[in-house]
Structure 1
Amino acid sequence: MMLILLPLLAAAAADTSSPTPTPTPAIAAPAPVTEALATAATGTRIGLLVVDEAGREIVAIRPDDRFVPASNTKLFTTAAAFAMLETEGADTAAGASVRLEPRGALRDVVLVGAGDARLSSARDCTNDCLATLVDAVARETKVVGDVIGDDTAFPDERWPAGMSWNNMVGRYGTAVSALTMDDNEVALTVRPGRAGGAPEVSGDGYYRIDNRVVTVPAGGKRSIGYMREPGSDLLRLTGTIPADASPYEVRLGVDDPAHRAAWRFAELLRSAGVRVTGKVGVRHRPVMPADDPKVRGNAPAARPPEVPALARLTPAPLREDLVHTNKVSQNLHTELLLRRVGAVSGSGSVADGHAAMDAVLERAGIQRRQYDFGDGSGMSNYNRVTPRASVRLLRWGAEQPWGAAWRETFPIAGKDGTLANRFKGTALEGRLFAKTGTLNASNALAGYFTTATGRTFTFAAYANDMPGDVSATASLDAALVAVAAAN
């Protein structure tokens, strides 16, 4: 890994040649700030650091305590992606490809993922479309054997360490794979029936459905729950839907994205007139023990003789995906960014991704004790970061050639993304650019805002340990509005 990172460190020597300035004593928080934070539920632990253009501390509350950052973790992952992939041109990942491998009298179809997050099987797809690869196979042959999903570009590490198992069934906790299609989600639609009867549930057939939802009279309550055991294809739906309700969409996570992609590819091949005589299969790269002296960085397992790709997709520019990732806080896309960073000079493992991120954060002047990450997206409860580390990252990032582009990926208060409905009607509407974060008993917000006098402040605000998982976002937002008003 160092063969690639050492030149980057050398090029950035100016960033770390001088020690980080000792912060000036913090100015006491104005009464409105203190009053705003006091509205958080009793027992809530809050960290808040706000600095001005020169790095002087305006408000500092527990700036060196470690907090669960939730999706604020994406700030660190996307900064590493900008530094190593988007700007410095180290990203060599291409889109998915397809090849035909001989096996007896037939040829197997192998769909190969390269870590791109945007492969789509949607009917209205215009770029990075699975249908393009289907057409390539259909032009070549009308009979194939097996259809195989190959995600060996990265080790088979589908869920980040420290993620709650109950998130796995939903779209926010779907498995991570180098072969990713439709965000690794399966959509079902629930349409109400007659009162007292079962609604209609439609999908593409990937999951078996145990429908226990009941249609209730018009005007009733819609409350639909779903459960699927990890590794099972049986989905149980429960709850109620009013007879006059609009169709309700349920989006579910996938346990084995490579299998799902191959299954969908086989369906599309049949629709294109190609006879599939074999089964749907997968190729995964097993994760090797980190202390195995014979294995360096989970090197790829042995493969059959390479067969040239029949067709390969070209994804849209990575910067477009970075905007989408931070604006809507897309977990899967961030996890793939972490693995792509780890594949620059390593294996694409989570450990290699974090090692590469460590090198970037060292360049930023962030001390190793100020953070720990179990994943790249913020779904892990193992993640910890100090407000000072986040502010340091934001200030360093702003000075980089990619700093303006990185800031453009942040949600804008009251305007878009995960901040579209926050700060409405306040002085910070349209004047705060920040990454949000929400996890069990954790709220986070970090970025930049413009004060009442037109100054630009950098901040990181965290709330942890809220009893009963009561949100503290209103308290954090009000505190930031008060800081902006006082300056």
Structure 2
Amino acid sequence: MMGSLLLPLLLAGAPVEAPLPPAAMEALAKAPPGTRIGLVVVDPEGGEIVALRPDERFVPASNTKLFTTAAAFATLNVATPDVSGGATVRLEGQGTPTVILAGHGDARLSSAPDCRVDCLAELATAVARRTRAVGDVVGDDTAFPDERWPKGMSWNNMSGAYGTGISALTLDDNVATLTVTPTAPGAPPRVVGDGYYRIDNAATTGAAGGARTLSVERMPGSDLVRVTGSLALATAPVVLRLGVDDPAHRAAWRFAQLLRAAGVTVTGRITVRHRSLTDADDPVRRGGRPVAVVAPVPVLASLTPPPLAEDLRETNKTSQNLHAELLLRRLGPSGSVADGHAVVDTVLARAGVPRATYDFADGAGMSNYNRVTPRATVALLRWAETQPWGAAWLATFPVAATDGTLARRFVGTPLAGRLMAKTGTLNAANALAGTMIAASGRMLTFAAYANDMADDASATAAIDAALVAIAAAN
């Protein structure tokens, strides 16, 4: 009875081509006021079981990664070691040479003390074997044009780990950390970083049992981090993760540290080489100043990361924004966002997805400019099922109540372990798309989007409950 009363309100003005089961309708009616919901569910033969606002365009949030990673599976060699993506080091000049640390799009380069694979320290050791003194240390990310943030991303996300700068030279996920440890009530906590950022510690240590209200702020382009709020006494240390504005600079800075640890004296500056977006033939810039293009000297040493397939799994399971953006840039010949999107367009045309049904400004979903229809996403999912790489792509999706961004969703429901889907969360946007095993044992393909929630409320509970109800009814 309740569902029938709410149906006109839920579906007001909404194209409905296949009706919802009453329980699913009731679930969606509990979404926050003002929520606009699009939902398409199809059976194994492609018949639409549910079609609510199927052709309206929604902000897909991290569902954008579905399109980027599908294009990567379709066009890149993801199964073999990533020979073309690894970082390299060169020495330029005589005497105390300039060190050029260059990135080629690898997302997994690490300087962690416990690093075992794809380790920056290996390149530092290679330099130490050749020379005991160097001049400048240059971070070179000219493999990609300088497009560090997507169009349409909120500026306030730039200082956090989810919105860190994107660069062909990526190290430690382009994130810096601060460790905050309580001291004595009323006193500032101890805040320790690695020296890359200056710290303004305006936080306090609260009484034992108090609330944690720590906050960190860094304005774009600034190297000053302000820590405010409170951390209760007897609380375990808290690690705060900070985005980086110029990843190539940070990588060069960290490489200089590792060079010194390997016994190499660094006498020069930490600087960078970027490539202009507007003209691929522009001279590269060192430290912001144009310099003449010279033939590159031979590579001294290089790293070969593991196969991209491993990174694709990480990208979708954990919804790793930076890794998705790097994948987008690796799709096209120039490393630009536009070239990457041209490849995505080509793949989607092969999948039969009409161009008018989507627009993407990035590869990860942080942009508010992204739009897609539920039918377009389902069309991609169903086409991918027919491709040689389809099963491997689907295996990168989080599994309900099991892992990744779905580890805590659908717990205790019949869809636990039986739904594989990519999540998405952004300001006033929730998304979930993938496959689920219905009560009948049939595999259903679906895309669910919720937009326009007031006060950034979440509609995930309503979406999850509706999918459980649809699975139960089929």
Q: TM-score category by the smaller chain?
A: over 0.9
Q: Secondary structure at the match of 1:98?
A: strand
Q: Secondary structure at the match of 1:149?
A: strand
Deviation at 1:272, TM superposition (A): 1.3
CA distance in 2, matches of 1:431, 1:61: 23
Equivalences for 1:27-426 in 2 at 5 Å?
A: 27-86=18-77, 93-102=84-93, 105-288=95-278, 303-342=293-332, 346-426=333-413
CA distance in 2, matches of 1:216, 1:449: 47
Q: Is the 2:37–2:449 Cα contact (8 Å) retained in structure 1?
A: yes
Equivalences for 1:12-27 in 2 at 5 Å?
A: 26-27=17-18
| Bigger mean CA deviation after superposition, 212-221 or 78-87 | 78-87
Deviation at 1:464, TM superposition (A): 0.1
1:459 alignment counterpart: 446
Q: Secondary structure at the match of 1:320?
A: helix
Q: Is the 1:222–1:242 Cα contact (8 Å) retained in structure 2?
A: yes
2:473 alignment counterpart: 486
> Residues 298, 245 of structure 1: CA spacing in aligned structure 2 closer, same or farther, 3 A cutoff?
farther
> Residues 117, 298 of structure 1: CA spacing in aligned structure 2 closer, same or farther, 3 A cutoff?
farther
The unaligned stretches of length 5 or more in structure 2 are 1-15, 285-291
Q: Is the 1:193–1:243 Cα contact (8 Å) retained in structure 2?
A: yes
Q: Is the 1:155–1:298 Cα contact (8 Å) retained in structure 2?
A: no
CA distance in 1, matches of 2:79, 2:349: 17
CA distance in 2, matches of 1:406, 1:305: 40
Deviation at 1:92, TM superposition (A): 6.3
Which residue of 418, 430, 435 maps to 1:448? Answer: 435
The unaligned stretches of length 5 or more in structure 1 are 1-24, 289-294
Q: Is the 2:180–2:238 Cα contact (8 Å) retained in structure 1?
A: yes
1:184-235: CA deviation from partner (whole Å, max 9, x where unpaired): 0001100000001011111110000000010011011111111111111000
Q: Secondary structure at the match of 2:148?
A: coil
Number of aligned residue pairs: 452
| Bigger mean CA deviation after superposition, 26-35 or 374-383 | 26-35
Q: Secondary structure at the match of 2:51?
A: strand
2:12 alignment counterpart: none
Q: Secondary structure at the match of 1:223?
A: coil
Deviation at 1:99, TM superposition (A): 0.6
> Residues 200, 80 of structure 1: CA spacing in aligned structure 2 closer, same or farther, 3 A cutoff?
same
> Residues 205, 468 of structure 1: CA spacing in aligned structure 2 closer, same or farther, 3 A cutoff?
same
- Give the root-mean-square deviation of aligned CA atoms: 1.5
CA distance in 1, matches of 2:93, 2:432: 53
Question: What is the TM-score normalised by the length of structure 2?
Answer: 0.93
Runs of 4 or more above 6 Å deviation: 88-92, 297-300
Deviation at 1:90, TM superposition (A): 13
Q: Secondary structure at the match of 2:50?
A: strand
Identity score, percent: 66
Q: Secondary structure at the match of 2:229?
A: strand
Q: Is the 1:93–1:114 Cα contact (8 Å) retained in structure 2?
A: yes
1:435 and 2:425 matched: no
CA distance in 2, matches of 1:419, 1:300: 46
Q: Is the 1:97–1:311 Cα contact (8 Å) retained in structure 2?
A: yes
> Residues 376, 120 of structure 1: CA spacing in aligned structure 2 closer, same or farther, 3 A cutoff?
same
1:327-376: CA deviation from partner (whole Å, max 9, x where unpaired): 0000000000000002xxx2110001001110010000000000000000
Deviation at 1:91, TM superposition (A): 7.7
CA distance in 1, matches of 2:165, 2:283: 20
Q: Is the 1:91–1:340 Cα contact (8 Å) retained in structure 2?
A: no
1:291 alignment counterpart: none
1:421-441: CA deviation from partner (whole Å, max 9, x where unpaired): 000000000000000000000
Q: Is the 2:428–2:454 Cα contact (8 Å) retained in structure 1?
A: yes
